Every structure is written in C-alpha cells, then in structure tokens.
C-alpha cells in the first residue's frame, strides 16, 4: 500500500511553508526503510509518521548517487531491494541533477563540473558567486516513483558497483592514512636526493617501507581491510615499478615524475611535499576530465582554474585532510567527503558524529568557507529530525 499522501493538506501547507531540501544520512535512510517494512506495527507507524511529518513541512528528502551506492552496499540482496522499494514510496524527493541533465541522481563530480561551468562560461570567480550561480539549477525534484522505478537490471548493476567501490574505498582510505617514513611530508628537495639512490638501495628502502606500512595499515587503516601485509607489499612493488618507468624514460627524474603525474613543472617548488604534488596531480586529472565534458567545449588548465577556485573541491580536500589525521580511518570517509559539499547547496545536511566535528573544525579554520556552509546536524533518533532547527518551519 503506498505511503499516505494527504494531498489537499499538503497543497495548503505548500502555500504557507517554503519547500526545504534536506539531505539525510544514508544510515538514517536505512533505518527508516527497515522500520517501514518491519513486522512490528510500532516500527512501521514510526516510519510512516516520519515521512508524513516531512511531507506536511514540505521537506524534500534529497539524494545523490553516493547515497544510492551506500544503500546498495548491504550484503543481503533482500535488504537492498527493500531499500529501493522504500525510496520508490517517498512522496517528495530531490536529487542532484547531473551536468548533462539526465534523469538520475548525480554525484559530487557533476557538482564540481557545474561549478567549473560557472567559472568558465558564466565568469564567476569567488566562492559565493559560484555557489549562488550553481544553486539555482542544481536540484531536480519529483516523487520517489518517478526516479526509483525502472529496470531491475539497473539496480543489479548499481549493487555490484557499490560493493566493488566499498572494497576499493577501504583500500584507498587505509593506504592514504599509512605514512611510513612520513612519506607524505617529503619535500621536492628530499625527493631529488632519493632519486640518486642506486637500484639496490631503493629496493632495500621499499622493503623497509612495506614492513612499516603493514603496521600502519593494521593500526590506522579500515578495520575491514583484508590482508594488510599483501596490500603493503603490492603498494611497494607498484611504487618501484612506477619509479622504474620514469627512469626508463630518461632525462631529469623529477621532471619526468611530474610529467608522469600530469603536473605542470612551473607550479612545483622545492618546498612542496609529496602530498602537495599528489593533490595537484589528482586535481589536474579531474580538471582535464571535467573540461572535456563542458558545453560549450572549453580547453581549461590548472593555470586557468587553480585548485582553490571551486568551493566544493576546496571543502572536500580540507575535510579529507582532517579525516586522515584520525586514529582509525574508514572507507565510508569517502562517502562523507562526497556528501559534505551539499552543505553549500541544501537547506540542511545530516552527518555522522565524526563528520559533524570535522566540519566544525573546518568552519573555524576557514571563515570564508564558514560563511557559505548551511546548517548541518546529527541525530540519534530520526523521529526528531522534523523538529530540528534546520528543518522545522
């Protein structure tokens, strides 16, 4: 039986209350779905009352592709199907519109591409102007049935992708947290010295690196990461292979390394660290990909749009740096990072305890960003969300 939809009451309410876009945490959506299909009548009533209260207040439950991926990661296919069926029943939903305006929830990558469009084609340069420009066209709205009903094969593909991405996120988060020899803080000047080591000395160095990395993975990595010893050994081998590839190309080692990473040499100084170069390499790659998809097409380089230009990228990067200082990281940190930029565009964003603290730290450290971040909150009981100051009328 579909969710109760008091249409007449809703139409009256809509004239009195401005619609709100509220991003709920994936864990909350999972709990509401569980209760919605529960055999216990009290649980079912709680879930339905929650949805009805949001409807009465003209609150759109807001999604991105990241939410759908997180909801699809569960190992029980029956649970995943129930979650999708639950989303289908929702009377008011909003989702991040992909840059190409296709009819399916987009991700933070589409948000970044919209911000890049605002810079390149709309001439916006400061964060506030970019956010205001993008906000006017970033959300699509409708009902759950309009977005979540479709070919079952689509959801099977999404489920498989979600589970693969979950394992990959656990690996990446763990590797980024492990810093044998404080490698991320090595400067360009120190890299130049390391490049002078003989192959035998380098092999010995990487063996020590792998041993230390295994310890770091066990101590600080995602607790679900399998075979930390194999991960550490594989990472060391891949690193040596990359170094060998760069050497085989001939010429100046550092110059070739930067070329290999796609980083313009003129943007690198001796005081920059491995972490700085890695961040610049990722940004340069993303920027190249985004610019190819712009309409009208535009050739954009890191010189045209420096890393501190796009507000969602800056928020993501600064939040990720705080995350990596945690005693224990999790693959789910990536989902939190991808959802955090929605605080620039939605009326309220629910986050978990750690992300709430990290965003609070970020706001204190960056007043310019703090002025753009909209309300974010955490909740112990989803029934309390409609009463939250960021939601209630």
Exposed/middle/buried for residue 178 (C-beta within 10 Å: 0-12, 13-18, 19+): buried
Q: What is the pLDDT of residue 68?
A: 94
Q: What pLDDT does 157 receive? A: 85
Q: Which residue has the higher pLDDT, 7 or 255?
A: 255
Would you state the structure tokens that stand for residue 19, as one six-digit string?
A: 């619609």
Structure token digits, residue 170? 């656990």
Q: What is the pLDDT of residues 327-359, one digit of tens each?
A: 887 878 888 999 999 999 999 999 999 999 999
Inter-residue contact 105 to 68 (CB < 8 Å): yes
Give per-residue pLDDT as tens, 110-157. Answer: 999 999 999 999 999 999 999 999 999 999 999 999 888 766 777 888
Measured between alpha carbons, how far is residue 352 from residues 54, 221, 336, 361 in Å? 20, 19, 8, 14
Residue 179's pLDDT is what?
67
| Residue 137, pLDDT score | 92
Q: What is the mean pLDDT of residues 6-24?
A: 64
Spatial separation of the C-alpha atoms in residues 220 and 238, rounded to whole Å: 21
The answer to whether 279 touches 317, Cβ cutoff 8 Å, is: yes
Residues 197-208: what's their mean pLDDT? Answer: 78
């Amino acid at each position: 039986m579909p969710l109760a939809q008091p249409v007449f009451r809703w139409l009256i309410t809509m004239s009195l209350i401005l619609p709100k876009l509220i991003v709920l945490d994936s864990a909350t959506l999972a709990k509401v779905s569980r209760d919605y299909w529960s055999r216990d009548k009290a649980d079912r009533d709680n879930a339905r009352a929650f949805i009805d209260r949001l409807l009465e207040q003209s609150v759109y439950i807001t999604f991105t592709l990241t939410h759908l991926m997180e909801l699809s990661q569960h190992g029980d296919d029956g649970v995943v199907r129930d979650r999708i069926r639950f989303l289908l029943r929702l009377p008011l939903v909003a989702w991040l519109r992909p840059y190409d305006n296709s009819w399916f929830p987009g991700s933070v990558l589409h948000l970044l591409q919209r911000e890049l469009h605002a810079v390149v084609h709309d001439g916006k340069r400061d964060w506030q102007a970019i956010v205001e420009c993008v906000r006017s066209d970033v959300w699509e709205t409708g009902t759950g049935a309009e977005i979540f009903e479709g070919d079952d094969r689509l959801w099977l593909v999404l489920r498989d992708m979600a589970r693969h991405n979950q394992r990959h996120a656990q690996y990446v988060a763990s590797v980024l947290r492990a810093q044998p020899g404080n490698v991320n803080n090595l400067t360009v000047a120190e890299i130049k010295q390391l490049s002078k080591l003989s192959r035998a000395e380098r092999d010995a160095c990487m063996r020590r690196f792998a041993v230390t990395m295994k310890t770091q993975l066990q101590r600080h990595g995602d607790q679900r990461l399998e075979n930390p010893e194999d991960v550490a050994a594989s990472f060391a081998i891949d690193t040596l292979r990359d170094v060998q590839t760069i050497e085989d190309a001939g010429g100046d080692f550092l110059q070739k390394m930067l070329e290999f990473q796609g980083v313009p040499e003129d943007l690198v100084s001796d005081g920059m660290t491995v972490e700085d170069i890695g961040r610049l390499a990722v940004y340069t790659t993303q920027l190249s990909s985004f610019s190819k998809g712009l309409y009208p097409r535009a050739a954009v380089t890191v010189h045209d749009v420096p890393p501190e230009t796009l507000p969602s990228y800056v928020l993501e990067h600064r939040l990720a740096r705080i995350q990596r200082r945690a005693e224990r990281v999790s693959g789910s940190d990536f989902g939190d990072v991808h959802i955090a930029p929605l605080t620039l565009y939605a009326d309220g964003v629910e986050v978990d305890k750690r992300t709430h603290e990290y965003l609070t730290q970020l706001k204190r450290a960056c007043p310019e960003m703090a002025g753009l971040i909209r309300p974010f909150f955490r909740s112990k009981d989803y029934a309390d969300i409609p009463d939250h100051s960021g939601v209630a009328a």
